Structure 1
Amino acid sequence: SAGIRVYGGNYSFYKEQKSLELAALSDDVLEKEKAIRKAKEKERETAERQQKLDARGKGKQEKSGVARIMMNTLRNSAENSTAKLKDAHAQKIDGLQSELRELRALVPAIDQMKFQFDYSKLHKGKTLIHAENINYSFSEKRLWNTPLNFEIRSGVRIAINGSNGSGKTTLIQLLLAKLQATEGTISTFYNEVIYIDQDYSILQNDLSIYVQAEQFNSGHLQEHEVKIRLNRFLFHKEVWDKTCAQLSGGERMRLLLCCLTIQENAPDIIILDEPTNNLDIQNVEILTAAIKEYQGTLIVVSHDEIFKAEIGIKENIQL
């Protein structure tokens, strides 16, 4: 119901209560979806059974020589009975769908903006990056006093930490194979890595929102399904022709998340480089919720300690 909801206790208590409420709401949505599927199945079975009964009755009447006028009366009666059954089922399904729409309207927008990746090709524990005694030199000056050694396995969440100028950006470029180490070796075994910087510059500024979304569609989604996903990420029909250059930081982040859900197959690695810098609190929450759902490997550069804790960073590379 409308109005202000009061929660006793501190912020942690509030978050816990909201989480429980959302879980209950999600269960209600799933139950309603299941009820609609059952009702539709029942409608189909009833229609098929009625057709068989009508056909059998007509055959018996013809064999027994029932007068034509009587057969017409019986046929009209059967048709009326079938129509009433159809109406009853249609009303039940309409009622359930109306209830489902009301429930979905209560689900916060954040909960709709989740990745829907196919994770079947990821192999947890597989070595994706192996770095042995690596360093990088600028004008023959080594970037790191001590060469770096590390291994990144599938499924880990790792942060690259260091002060400004410590070489975090250079290390990312090495991991992406955009630069070559001047010492040591980096072996990579990943299929796909997505690099997301603070400007979300993976998006093409000259493209419209809709065309940009379609760029990530390998053809497995039909046009209407792409549009449904755009709507889910709060990009409604009236803004689809807007160019990516016109979007705010939060809108660019939401569009990129949407595009990644459209591509379907999960990237082996997502690298986030100061992703919260240009976002307000609500959009940081949206990004956090989406990243928490991601089951692949996460490499993060961020000064936002709360964000790193929320997304479950467990390991660190200290520069």
Structure 2
Amino acid sequence: ERHFAVVGDDWDVEERARAALDQLGLGRIGLDRTIGEVSGGEGVLLRLAALLLARPGVLLLDEPTNNLDRSARRRLYDAVDAWSGVMVVVSHDRELLELVDQIADLRDGRVTWYGGNYSAYEEALAVEQEAAERMVRVAEADVKRQKRELVDAQTKLARRRSYAKKAQIEKRVPKVVANTRKSEAQQSAAKYRAVHAERLTGAKERLGEALEAVRDDDEIRIELPYTTVHPGRGVLLLSDLRLRYGAEVRGTLDVRGPERIALVGRNGAGKTTLLRTIAGELAPVSGEAEALVPLGFLPQRLDVLDDELSVVGNVARVAPTATVNRIRARLARFLFKGAKADQLAGTLSGGERFRAALASLLLAEPAPQLLLLDEPTNNLDLASVRRLTGALESYEGALIVASHDVPFLESIGITRWLLLDGGLYDTDPEAVRDGVLRAPEEAREPAGG
């Protein structure tokens, strides 16, 4: 009888609960398992299932796809697409944002609304920015014109004063008349200067307003000539590698030249463990992971920075022979200019910390010719993702990126897709996009040969 008050009229709650679990791919999960026994991705999906079951009037999702593998993301996308109620989602996941009806852009403490999904938002933003840049050019031209007119006005007044003084000296007019004219001229000149000065001030204010409308999403521009890896040169060799938590690379995997490899797999498959083993942070159970060129590793938590050092200090730590002036010049390309470069790493915002970590990685000595990136777009805003993409476009070394962000992987020119599921297997972006993150049951030649 005590259950009647809980269930009320919701007699199909058990069937709906199972349906919600099935919808999110959790139908086979043991219902007697504790939450502490499920993976992080499963925990996110379980929480979403509970929210869907509660049928809320408004559903709030805060970065729901962070740390979800591709198959889990696909199920979440489907659930979001099928949701018929009101939903507010905070996200930097471009695929998820393609499913929304409108976008609220929060910038500098103000919200601007855009109708449509992310693609429509980008198009509207491009039109806005083009108009804003056009207004800046118009305002700059107006400021220059007002400056010229003010100079012209001052020149004319100077000529009048000179003429009046000359006339007084030559006594062409009585002194009383000359003094009266002088007083009137001074008053007229003051008004004349004030009018032009006011126009110039107004033009500068309009320029300031126009500049505020232009987004300051500067791109990272870097040149890394010493990172070049010639085609055919050996970069990495994995031999009969067994990792701590069960994954393995049977045979040998030989990475050559400036390959760009996407490392994909479900949550818990061992992607981070493999990268940390390659980087030398973890010892393998057996086998060997040998980097044949200098490498750099950017972990998920960006814990490569010393919070007690400035941005300059962090780079100087990994580039001991570089002068401070040289470090500052190179940091400016990572958008750390002037006092920003002297800021302590512990006080940086998320996006700034990412740029500082990336700078420390890429400006190290010797220059890394193999980059290992572990979920680099997690918790990055879209401007930072664009900056990372731009930085990697100018990187000429080999690259191994563990990520579930397919649009990002495609944007950086991935040349090979490797699936980690017990062993390493070649796959393709279509399979990854569809959430196929398990090796097939039938025999399949692993990537390691």
TM-score by length of 2: 0.46
* 2:290 aligned with 1:205: no
Is the CA contact 2:278–2:291 (under 8 Å) kept in the aligned structure 1?
no
| Cα offsets for 1:215-241 (capped at 9, x unmatched) | 5694457999645x99xxxxxxxxx88
Aligned counterparts of 1:262 and 1:172: Cα–Cα separation in 2: 18
- Separation of aligned partners in 2, 1:134 and 1:224: 39
Q: Which has the higher contact order (CA 8 A, sep 6+)?
A: 1
1-structure distance, mates of 2:337, 2:218: 19
Change in 2 beyond 3 A, CA 1:90/1:18: same
Partner of 1:273: 374
Aligned mate of 1:72, from 162, 168, 183: 183
SS at match of 1:314: coil
- The one-letter code of the counterpart of 1:293 is G
Equivalent residue number for residue 276 of structure 2: 169
- Residue type at the aligned position of 2:204: I
- How far apart, in 1, do the equivalents of 2:375 and 2:278 lie? 14
Q: Work out whether residues 160 and 300 of structure 1, in 8 Å CA contact, stay in contact via their aligned partners in 2.
A: yes
* 1:22 shift after superposition: 1.0
8 Å CA contact 1:115, 1:293 repeated in 2: yes
Counterpart among 170, 186, 191 of residue 292 in structure 2: 186
Q: Report how far residue 35 of structure 1 moved.
A: 2.6
Change (3 A) 1:20 1:86: same
**Counterpart in 2 of 1:259?**
356
Amino acid at match of 1:115: E
Structure 1: stretches of 5+ with no match in the other structure: 5-9, 175-181, 231-239
| RMSD of equivalent CA atoms | 4.8
Contact 1:213 1:259 in 2 (8 A): no
- CA gap of 1:44–1:316, structure 2 versus 1, over 3 A, is same
User: In structure 2, what is the equivalent of residue 14 of structure 1?
Assistant: 117
Distance 1:40 1:18 in 2: 32
Contact between 2:278 and 2:289, CA under 8 Å: does it hold in 1? no
Distance 1:195 1:168, change over 3 A: closer
Are the aligned partners of 1:196 and 1:271 in contact in 2 as well (CA < 8 Å)? yes
CA spacing shift, 1:171–1:128, aligned 2, 3 Å:
farther
AA aligned opposite 1:33? V
Distance in 2, Cα, partners of 1:195 & 1:202 = 9
Correspondences of 1:65-214 after superposition (within 5 Å) = 65=168, 67-98=178-209, 100-101=211-212, 103=213, 112=216, 114-117=218-221, 119=222, 121-122=223-224, 126-127=228-229, 130-131=233-234, 134-135=237-238, 145-146=251-252, 148-152=254-258, 157-160=260-263, 164=270, 167-172=274-279, 186-187=292-293, 195-206=297-308, 211-212=310-311
Instruction: State the 1:21 CA deviation.
Output: 0.5
Structure 2 residue aligned with 1:34: 137
Higher gyration radius (CA): 2
Give the direction of change, closer, same or farther, for the CA distance of 1:94–1:57 in structure 2 (3 Å limit).
same
CA 1:76 to 1:225, structure 2 compared with 1: closer, same or farther past 3 Å? Answer: farther
> Could you tell me how far apart the structure 2 residues matched to 1:82 and 1:132 are?
70
1:296 corresponds to: 394
Displacement of 1:58: 2.0
What CA distance in whole angstroms lies between the structure 1 residues aligned with 2:227 and 2:298? 23
Letter in 1 for 2:401: V
Listed one character per residue, the Cα deviations across residues 58-98 of structure 1 (whole Å, up to 9, x for unaligned) are 22222233524423322331221111111122123324433
Q: Does structure 2 retain, via aligned residues, the 8 Å contact 1:272–1:301?
A: yes
Separation in 1, partners of 2:188, 2:257: 76
Letter in 1 for 2:257: E
Query: Does the 8 A contact of 1:214 with 1:226 survive in 2?
Result: no
Residue 415 of structure 2 is matched in structure 1 by 315
Whether the aligned pair in 1 keeps the contact of 2:300 and 2:376 (CA below 8 Å) is yes
The alpha carbon displacement at 1:19 in A equals 1.1
Deviation at 1:100, TM superposition (A): 4.5
What CA distance in whole angstroms lies between the structure 2 residues aligned with 1:29 and 1:261?
A: 31
User: How far does residue 160 in structure 1 lie from its aligned partner after superposition?
Assistant: 4.4
**Alpha-carbon shift at residue 57 of structure 1 (Å):** 2.1
The answer to whether residue 153 in structure 2 is matched with residue 50 in structure 1 is: yes
- Please report how far the alpha carbon of residue 304 of structure 1 lies from its aligned counterpart in structure 2 after TM superposition: 0.8
Q: How many residues align?
A: 263
Distance 1:82 1:266, change over 3 A: farther
Contact 2:261 / 2:417 at 8 angstroms: preserved in 1? yes
Mapped to 2, the partners of 1:131 and 1:214 lie a distance apart of 33
> How much does 1:17 deviate?
1.0
Q: Distance in 2 between matches of 1:213 and 1:183?
A: 32
In 2 relative to 1, CA 255–314 (structure 1 residues): closer, same or farther, beyond 3 Å? Answer: same
Q: Is the 8 A contact 1:132 1:149 kept in 2?
A: yes
Preserved contact between residue 241 and residue 250 of structure 2 (Cα < 8 Å)? no
Matched with 1:25 is 128
What is the CA–CA distance in structure 1 between the aligned matches of 2:188 and 2:384, rounded to whole Å?
Answer: 60
